[in-house]
Amino acid sequence: MDPAAPRHTKEMPHDTFPAAPPAQPAMTEPLILYATMTGNARDAAELLASQLRNSGLAPRVEQIPAWDPRRLSQEKTVFFLTSTFGDGDPPDTAFTFWDILRKADTLDLSGLRFAVVGFGDSTYPRFCKFGRDLDHRLAELGAKRLLPRLDCDVDWEEPFEKWLPRAEKAIQQPES
């Protein structure tokens, strides 16, 4: 076996991200990452992007499955909009992202500001659990909350629309 060849362990299937990406300059425009099963998080991500564009920013909107969480250290501000599925799990498309993030004990996110919006159904006992878990893990890795986490129920539009101006204002505040 070639010692320089990437190694895959049983914990990381071959289709996960094999190595941390090379360091890049920090991105200054906000990133909106979403993971969804029903489309609510995607729709909310587009609403947030529109709000931020109207305030003169150029947000990037991407799906969580396209992202290696080790790249988060290269970002300044990230909004996470994600649903919870099943028994408090991330959406299917976010499993690899979550697996890497929860195991990345040496990842330093101290330069990252973030906000999490969770989507769920309050009739389930683990309502918005993935959003809560993600919020907690990001803070554990040193990231700073831009806003308190917002948990949205099935009728998410009204609370989310009330949250949008707070998000716009918070992102324009200087980093502390």
Examine the pLDDT at 159 and tell me if it is beyond 90: yes
Q: 105 versus 5: which is more confidently predicted? A: 105
pTM: 0.83
Which of the following CATH numbers is that of domain 31-171: 3.40.50.300, 3.40.1350.10, 3.40.190.10, 3.40.50.360?
Answer: 3.40.50.360
Per-residue pLDDT tens over the stretch 59-87: 999 999 888 898 999 999 999 999 888 77
Cβ neighbours for 158, distance < 8 A, ≥ 6 positions apart = none
Average pLDDT over residues 146-153: 93
Instruction: Give the pLDDT confidence score for residue 147 in this predicted structure.
Output: 95
Listed in sequence order, the residues at least 6 apart from 13 whose beta carbon sits closer than 8 Å to its beta carbon are none
- Taking Cα atoms as reference points, which of 50, 31, 54, 49 lies closest to residue 115? 31
165 and 96 Cβ atoms separated by less than 8 Å: no
Per-residue pLDDT reduced to its tens digit, 83-135: 888 778 888 889 999 999 999 989 999 999 999 999 988 888 888 899 999 99
